[in-house]
Structures are given as C-alpha cells and as structure tokens.
Structure 1
C-alpha cells in the first residue's frame, strides 16, 4: 500500500456512514429547527450516537446549529448536494420583466432562490450580469445574494469566505450581519462597487402570496454612484413589478 492509498474501511465504518446519511436525510425531511431528540426518536438511534453524528455533520458544514442552539438546519455543503435548477419562466412573468426593462435604462435581472443559491432565470441580454458561479459562491457581494442571506437563520451557512473583490467589499462578519439585518427590515438590498468597483445593484424580494416565502429577487444594475443615490421612484417601480411577479412565480 502506498502513502496515497486510502485506509481500508473497518467493519463498523459503513454503518456509521449510513447513520450519518440517515441523520442528514431526517433533517431534510423534518425541516429547519428539528432537534437532536426528535432525530434520535425518528431514527431509533441512541442519543449519544445522534449527538456525535450531528456534531460531525456540523463540523463538516453539512448542518448548522440554529442561533438559539435548539435545532439544526442544512448547511452550505448540503446545499451543494442538490444543484439548483432554474425553473421555467412563464410568458406572463417574462412580460412583466420586459415591461420594467422598457421603463428604465438599467440592467434588469430576475433570479430564483433554491437550495441556498442564487440562480438567474431571466438575465438582461443587453446588460450581461456577473458570472453565475460568482453569484452562487459569493452571495455577500451581490444585492440578490444579500436578499437570500438576510432570510437565513445563520448567513454563515451559505458564505464560503468573506473574500475581498474591491476596496468596497464588506469583509467583516459583524458589518455584514448588521447590513443583512437592515436589508431584512427594509425589504431592499443595495451593493455599491463590492463586486466591481464601477457597478452596483438594487434588489427587492418577490414573495409567495399568502406564505410570504422568498421565491425570487428582482434586481436593477448600473453605475455604482447611481445605485448609491436615493432612487425612491425607481425602487417603487421595482416593488410594483415584484408584486406583479409574485403570483406568477410562487
């Protein structure tokens, strides 16, 4: 056996792997907030074994502990097990987006939120957005990504690292947390030059009627100095079109 050969599995390891996968599956089935006690009862596992497996899955970022420490939710690496698939956009929804494009000189993009990722479902062909993999891997530097992070019990579960792209990129966890709190309260995300120094974006949420669940985001992109302005009339247009999109995307 060379130094590069994997160590052989012992007799007990496959069972441990199966148990860990069962715990992960139970969190998916039960939803965010399921407790260790509930998982132990559902899988008929000893509580000590359940806690040990949960601690391992948290350490490997497949799960996260919720802020109140009373339950668990899927982590960043679990989201990668199921690649986000962009839903087909209906003609009616596309018409709403095109209507907004005809009213502004900004780039208009529509994105869905699935499996903890931002997925562009109608990028503006006249104003090509940033590469999709950047949006998915570094949501904290985009307005659409900030909308998604502001909805999370713990944004750290979806952020790979606080990488600096420009001098304006937020790289402090405390500063990002405060920013996301403001976004959640205002229902508006804004980034000015954080991904590209000369560009910025505004984004508003599209929520499912009745449920209030975040299903998509509508973004306007343009020069960073324009994004930094008040833009109340423009934001009003965005909110109006987001409301029209809600029943078409839910």
Structure 2
C-alpha cells in the first residue's frame, strides 16, 4: 500500500476530504492485519504486513488505542483487538444474558483477579457472548477462526466441535489430559508469554456441553489451576440453568 494513499488530512473539516476516506480505510486495514497476525502483533509486524511506513503505522496504532479499537497486550510488547471491536461484533450478532447471569458474573469478577469470560457453543462453534469489560479478551477474532489456540476453544474441540477436524492432534491430546486431571482445559504462555487461560464447562441438564466460563491471567495461576477452579466452579454450575 503506497504511502500517498494512507496519509490523513492534518486539517480536517466538517466535510470528508479526499484524504480522510483513505485514512479511514488504512485504519480498518490495520485492524484486519491485527486480526490476522493475532494478539501480540507488534507495530513493526503490522507495518511490514501492510507495507506502511513505520511512522504512519505508529500514528494509526496510537489513535486506535486511544479510541479503544486496539489494546496493548499485558506484557506491553504488542497489540490486540480492543473492546470496541468486540462491541461491534456483539451488535452484529447480539446475545443478551439474563440479568441473573449478569449478576453472577459481576460477583465472580469482583472476587477473581483476572479476566472472566463466557462463551456459548451454538452449532458446535465458539461464540464469545460476555467478555470481561475490565480485562478485554485478547483476540476474539482469532478465537472464532483458530479456537485450538485458546482454552475456551480447546474445551469444545475436545468434545468434537465443528472445528476439531482442523485442529492439531497435540492440542486435542493436551485438552483431553487437562479435562481428565482438572476438569478444565488450559493454555499457558502460547499467545502471551507469562499469561494463560483456562475454561470450565457449562453443561445443560442432559450433560451436553453448552458453553464455558473462562479465566485469563498470570501463567502460574493456570499452571496450578485449583485456586481459580475453586473460585469459579460454583459460578459455572449456577450459570448452567440460566444459559441452557
């Protein structure tokens, strides 16, 4: 993408100039690049992927962070899609949790230091329906596209979700081992060094997997998950009849 096509107008007016739509296009293309590169994409990687000058990339990234469309990853080394992108996706396919479920999640989030997220598995696919507003989900686009990289996706894949056929067998073996040992699935340090996530199943009255309650936080809390499980298991159980 040539530089002349992405410079924004330094003196915007009430009307869209010729340059402003190009700047908007560049910002949207940058968001697409972060979605493709995954959480933790650096400004250099984004610049290289799009063929943008580094100064232009840094300017666009900073603007998108300020507006909430991008967030810095916990280790501050890169970027991920932000809460506003998640909000736009939820508007496109909204799922409104019952008020009793939202109350349970609020209470859980008040007692757990880390992100607490809810997914459902409609038609064997992963749908992020309630990401933690205080700990934005690292990469919701990649979760849908590449669920085997996340604990929330591995839980579904271990039980034969639609995407299981394209998931590496090693991921499924690890997920099955975690379920036998802990009753949850885990991912440790694969997306963001020093951080991880786990997923507790939410089952319907017949025992079928309907969704999951996820936790994201420091790797040591996922490596030895008993403390997090003890905190969140009652919430997962109480959510089940409200979501299934």
The answer to whether the 8 Å contact 1:86/1:120 transfers is: no
Match of 1:218, SS? strand
- The superposition leaves residues 56-81 of structure 1 with CA deviations (integer Å, 9 ceiling, x where unpaired) of xxxxxxxxxxxxxxxxxxxxxxxxxx
The answer to whether the 8 Å contact 1:147/1:183 transfers is: no
Please state how far the C-alpha of 1:208 moved relative to its aligned partner: 0.6
Per the alignment, do residues 197 and 207 of structure 1 end up closer, same or farther by CA in structure 2, a change over 3 Å counting?
A: same
Matched, 1:132 2:127: no
Per the alignment, do residues 155 and 123 of structure 1 end up closer, same or farther by CA in structure 2, a change over 3 Å counting?
A: closer
- The superposition leaves residues 9-65 of structure 1 with CA deviations (integer Å, 9 ceiling, x where unpaired) of xxxxxxxxxxxxxxxxxxxxxxxxxxxxxxxxxxxxxxxxxxxxxxxxxxxxxxxxx
Which is richer in helix? 2
Where in structure 2 are there 5+ consecutive unaligned residues? 1-91
Distance 2:166 2:210 in 1: 17
Matched, 1:189 2:174: no
Matches for 1:204-243 after TM superposition, within 5 Å? 204-209=200-205, 211-228=206-223, 230-243=224-237
**Number of the residue aligned with 2:102:** 94
Per the alignment, do residues 155 and 133 of structure 1 end up closer, same or farther by CA in structure 2, a change over 3 Å counting?
A: closer
Match of 1:246, SS? helix
Q: Which runs of 4+ in 1 moved over 6 A?
A: none
Distance 2:130 2:196 in 1: 18
The answer to whether the 8 Å contact 1:143/1:189 transfers is: yes
Matches for 1:1-250 after TM superposition, within 5 Å? 85=93, 87-152=95-160, 156-157=164-165, 159=167, 173-185=168-180, 186-209=182-205, 211-228=206-223, 230-250=224-244
Distance 1:190 1:243 in 2: 19
Instruction: State the TM-score, normalizing by the size of structure 1.
Output: 0.56
Match of 1:125, SS? coil
Distance 1:232 1:132 in 2: 26
Instruction: State the TM-score, normalizing by the size of structure 2.
Output: 0.57
The answer to whether the 8 Å contact 2:116/2:214 transfers is: yes
For the aligned residue pairs, the C-alpha RMSD in angstroms reads 2.1
Please state how far the C-alpha of 1:118 moved relative to its aligned partner: 1.5
Please state how far the C-alpha of 1:85 moved relative to its aligned partner: 4.5
- Largest Rg, 1 or 2: 1
Number of matched pairs? 152
Where in structure 1 are there 5+ consecutive unaligned residues? 1-83, 160-172
Distance 2:161 2:235 in 1: 27
